[in-house]
A = this chain, B = another copy of it.
Amino acid sequence: MILKTLFTALLSCNLFFFSSVSFAEEPIKPIKAAVPKDKGMVELGKMLFFDPRLSKSGFISCNSCHNLSMGGTDNIKTSIGHKWQQGPINAPTVLNSSMNLAQFWDGRAKGLKEQAGGPIANPGEMAFTHKLAVDVLHSIPQYRGRFKQVFGAENISIDMVTDAIAAFEETLVTPDSRFDKWLKGDKEAIDQAELEGYKLFKESGCASCHHGTAVGGASFQKLGVLAPYKTTSKAEGRKEVTGKNTDRFVFKVPTLRNIELTYPYFHDGAVATLEEAVNKMGQLQLGIDFSTEENAKIVAFLKTLTGKQPDFKLPALPPSVNETPRPVPFD
């Protein structure tokens, strides 16, 4: 009995040791479940994320373009803004976005808090102002009560609004993908073709940009290294932030987590399928023409990156009161 226990213990250590080593060698790390720092702030942020009263029309919420039923995106090429304006760029997923080195395709916002204020005041998106958004929230007693509870202040500020939205967004991580289960040692979690796809992904050089926990989001890279990227989009990426010509078409590397859900692809949303995205990336970034079989294997691997989707109750929003400024959808 003692011998058996000792043997089991040694075996466990050994398994743990090997699993830990192989794990450390992989360029992709598994996602850890979110541990909310402040549950009250997260709940408030969730309400704000779903509240269309942060837009001039009263119709567009954060969730309109970062739809949490649809991989945190809107699944259209470029988003629809106030009065059906066509946005300039494909909405990046909000899922796992806390792992990005910066926010927006061009990285112009340092973090989620700074990002959250952008669309509210963007005339082409929610078309509101920070002041008017705060006025709306401040008029609503139930919101005032929640802000007071979370921030201890009588008056609501846009800083609190974006802090709360960012706190909610930090919880939007997607652990437990089949690939993460494989990384953690469950060798049955992915099949042979998917595993071969992962090997191709690493060996071809995809992982040189798409690595880390988010499988991307960790660097800015030029789109079109070996061949120019052809597009009708006017977006120029980092150049718009730095002013440097060398930053033209340099974009934040997008996360590949949940990539099966976040179609269409690329900053201009011009690529409809994963197959085409893999082919284009091979040609433009690596100078590789993947065979149909190779492409299929890489795509199969990419689909193992779909993790546990947001899992919470639809928030009930507090009603406006007589004093609440009314939305202006049609002026």
- Report which A residues bind B (CB closer than 8 A): 50-53, 57-59, 64, 67-71, 74-76, 80, 83-84, 86, 260-261, 263-264, 272-273, 275, 309-317, 319-320, 322, 326-327, 329-330
- Asked if residues B327 and A76 are in contact (CB atoms below 8 Å), the reply is yes
Identify 16 new A-B residue pairs, CB closer than 8 A, beyond the known A59-B74, A68-B314.
A52-B67, A53-B75, A57-B80, A58-B76, A59-B76, A69-B315, A70-B319, A84-B329, A86-B329, A86-B330, A260-B319, A263-B319, A312-B313, A313-B313, A313-B314, A314-B314
Q: A313-B313, A326-B272 are in contact. Are A261 and B80 (CB under 8 A)?
A: no
Q: Are the C-beta atoms of B320 and A309 separated by less than 8 Å?
A: no
CB distance from A232 to the nearest CB of B (A): 13
Given contacts A261-B319, A275-B322, are A329 and B80 in contact (CB under 8 A)? Answer: yes
Complex CA–CA separation, A83 to B82 (angstroms): 10
Which residues on the B side are within 8 Å of A264 (C-beta)? Answer: 326
- State the oligomeric state as a number of copies: 2
A179 to chain B, nearest CB (A): 17
Residues of B within 8 A of A330 (CB): 86
CA gap between A71 and B52 in the complex, in Å: 13
The 4 closest A-B pairs by CB, nearest first: A84-B84, A309-B316, A69-B317, A273-B322
A260 CA to B80 CA, complexed, in Å? 30
Q: Which residues of B contact A311 (CB under 8 A)?
A: 313
